[in-house]
Structure 1
């Protein structure tokens, strides 16, 4: 990595904070004084702090980052904390499972599908890639509800669930629905079988917009929005990145989806205030040559990977910075407290 570029990113020149100004030494000192793990006084202060920690941690992690992070102020206006290659088309990997779920839920909203309708799980549709649960079943053919498939898609990131969704929303239709909602770069890649596809590409800005439309209530119906957010906020969803340093109650205030393949390590989601307002939205895509041993990084998809360590640090800073803020947004998404069970 070019050392000059590395130094520039550490100083925050690769990000946009608050009004988009380059952060100077006074702001750096202020961020250091207030500390990355304390509540910020307001959205602008939160954005400045997030910008600094993002620059520092991504520089340490290495790789090429394409990201967009915003914080809602008290009026609900979005203040950009990070904007780095936000319009660059990138490999989305499993982050685009949110887009696939959006297409399925759009058809449910239009009365063309239902969550309780069944899809067939046949031996030839199961991907045995060690992700998810369907490859562990060992009893086919079987059938499950579409709701079950979607829960597996978004929590365990099950790739067989992608194929099950493709049975009811073929690749061409997924892309048509997404384009109709304004997402021209967030598209899946069709293959010879019309009901199957690779998860395709997006841009950080488009994924950020999709999430903002979701919590703004303009992407899907209120019922489908709650359904999708409840899954993404569940404790069964991804915890190795942004949510790793948070406790159980805090994790329930973060709706997140990660994606990983080859050298890509991605994550996108929304953090909610204590009163259920969507207060922070993040879209983080990283790939390339990361710090450390490339041979080790290549097959490391866990919290030990440099990119995930960076996301963990950033996730804690993002949450702590905004945890006491709120916004005058129209919609509130309260979370039920976690209730543990011992079976029975």
Structure 2
């Protein structure tokens, strides 16, 4: 791991977290002595050990905030590594943008079935997603379709389509009003366009906690947003890569990648559908910045963390509202 100021800060914060939670044993020893922690504090220590091991192996810089739910009180902080650094969040901030759009739906200013025009001019050429592939413009889709492509295949054109119904300055004002002043899109000359902007690991974590806690959006919008983040087509290269279909259905996640950054944030649910672990894992500075696939060191690290995070909380009850976990049902046409 390259030891620079950002890495040193992260290691220092992890040491502080270790003091609060108790000294973490080496990963192999911890895994051998307790296969399935039975208390939030023990689960949090296990998660901290797993994060420390795999982030160190990947190298680079890690900014992270992870907590384990405690039904009896405040969530137990497991990882707090440079958690208040305001950094480029890239597509992880699509959760925040979707929150602003759905806030307008909740207030009756937009509807999921209203049409959004897709012109050739608005399509991002060569961008991630599907709108740049179909080649048939102009066309129109529903706002629900826009949000679905925005959060599952992380479509770049959907960034612009969201801006048509919720201008950049409005996105920022909604997020500030909800208590997220560091989670902001970057304004450009066109008021309906923006770069995805910044957040901190702590604010991204707290936004997700507010979402599952039911204080961010209406019940209908909350269920809708979590359904997109938890769907089988959503990001699978990181936390969910080596999980079964049923295990993947217990994870709501969103990744972001650009330049040398590889981020991911989300929620793990217990078997009843209550949130049990919330994570914001921001990474940059690893080797192979030109690799946007599953072989990037930070993405491989998260793929290794995911099943171990799930195992660490598998005997811990989540807290708050439960959200039905629907097993995927593949179709053969017909």
Is the TM-score greater than 0.5? yes
How far did residue 11 of structure 1 move?
Answer: 9.2
- 1:31 aligns to 2:22 (yes or no): no
The CA deviation string for residues 89-138 of structure 1, in whole angstroms up to 9 with x for no partner, is 01100000000000000000000000000010000000123410000111
Partner of 1:339: 329
Partner of 1:83: 80
Question: Which of 152, 161, 164 in structure 2 is aligned with 1:167?
Answer: 164
| Contact 2:21/2:78 (8 A) holds in 1 | no
Give distance in 2, aligned partners of 1:330 and 1:71: 13
| Contact 1:16/1:81 (8 A) holds in 2 | no
Give distance in 1, aligned partners of 2:3 and 2:92: 31
Alpha carbons of structure 1 residues 168 and 13: separation in structure 2 relative to 1, 3 Å: closer
- Once the two structures are superposed, the pairs formed by residues 1-344 of structure 1 within 5 Å of their partners are 1=1, 14=14, 17=17, 20-21=20-21, 23=23, 31-34=30-33, 38-288=35-285, 290=286, 294=287, 297-327=288-318, 329-344=319-334
| Contact 1:11/1:56 (8 A) holds in 2 | no
Alpha carbons of structure 1 residues 317 and 12: separation in structure 2 relative to 1, 3 Å: farther
Matched position secondary structure for 1:271: strand
Give distance in 2, aligned partners of 1:3 and 1:186: 27
Give distance in 2, aligned partners of 1:82 and 1:246: 22
How far did residue 306 of structure 1 move?
Answer: 0.3
Segments of 5+ residues of structure 1 without an aligned counterpart are none
Give distance in 1, aligned partners of 2:73 and 2:102: 26
How far did residue 76 of structure 1 move?
Answer: 4.8
Give distance in 2, aligned partners of 1:16 and 1:94: 30
Alpha carbons of structure 1 residues 127 and 42: separation in structure 2 relative to 1, 3 Å: same
Alpha carbons of structure 1 residues 134 and 326: separation in structure 2 relative to 1, 3 Å: same
Matched position secondary structure for 1:20: helix
Alpha carbons of structure 1 residues 28 and 130: separation in structure 2 relative to 1, 3 Å: closer
Q: How many residues get paired?
A: 334
The CA deviation string for residues 11-54 of structure 1, in whole angstroms up to 9 with x for no partner, is 997355477246255x867514236xx42222111111111111
Give distance in 2, aligned partners of 1:4 and 1:131: 32
Q: Detail structure 1 runs of 4+ shifted over 3 Å in the superposition.
A: 1-5, 7-13, 15-19, 27-30
Superposition RMSD in Å: 2.4
| Contact 1:116/1:147 (8 A) holds in 2 | yes
| Contact 1:18/1:44 (8 A) holds in 2 | no
Alpha carbons of structure 1 residues 39 and 119: separation in structure 2 relative to 1, 3 Å: same
